[in-house]
Chains A and B, each alone.
Chain A
């Protein structure tokens, strides 16, 4: 199913915005075959126990496809929630709640970056005020030390380490890092720089999608 590609290419991306009628904002993003659907509700009412007086409460729910949510899913939720909290201008909506719900549809590699990118698209679709955009890119290091961007499931299984970086669109500094496996400092730095270059393409993709969506006014 996967087309042959070299190590410094991103897989084809497709997105569909606003297709869920009940949500305030929704996005389906596919990177290659990895598909994640994200919907968000907000700013809306929030339980008093979770209310913050000067900011909006951001809550993230992640649902895997098979089985009930486990501990590893909680860590994913925490990661995505912290990333979204950094981006959203929550001070503009105090005492409200912003709910982001992610559903795994297909996991064919680079799953965490697909989740974060689709969350950003859903926030854009709902017109939530953001400080900057965020772009996530995953790369993996093979046992020979080669870096592959946006790996699929087979490449991830053969790799020694998998690193996911999230960059902001203003200065391209690192917002989030999540790694698995062990690697050296030099490998870390080269992955960081490679992913930074790749994230610029992701930001361009967001821009083009929104331009297309807003090109006609109803």
Chain B
């Protein structure tokens, strides 16, 4: 035995494979899917717009100029102007921030809370699980746009309320995804091995289970983010989302309705922006699923 100790002591512990290599592997897998790559690139462009929008935009989003109203696209106004003479291009660029802020914050909140509910419910099971799942069923029994309308109709469409509504709507779906992963992982032998060692619940949950539940969670979160853009835009269109004069895309489309024939660009460009962002996010999350969970079909 002592001989082997010496031998082992003499052997240096090999250096660890870097995280960068893993990321490069994922990157290569993603690049093999041209459509998902395009989606990711578009998504990143929009994200940059959201971050740097106000500095890129040629005009202020509230800058009115009545003489220039309803101008068709020109070099000065590449996407034309609206009924107040505001630059549509600038409003779209600045509007991206609101979309990411709303949808992103709402989704992150939903992920945090949904993950907590899913982890607790799936891991501890029993009566608590039963109650939590029933409550989530209730939320799911009301179609999401309907629930959003009723909630916002009563509490009023402020930014905070919008974010909270998005979060509440998506908690059930995320909780379910996490819970089903936990139920699956809980019976896996490596988790049982941890229980046999007498690991604390927190260690089992956060070190053994959660890391393995992350890939589907990430995919689900990106899907939810794309739905939230859809939802927020629909609410804006119905007048229960962000209020004027904010450059919200849904709101812009709503305002464009009355100028469909005279100024179609007022509709076309915000519609294009929403569609591109949502579709790009969908394509990206579909690609993400294939990169992170290869071998699995659509969930």
Do A and B come together as binding partners? no
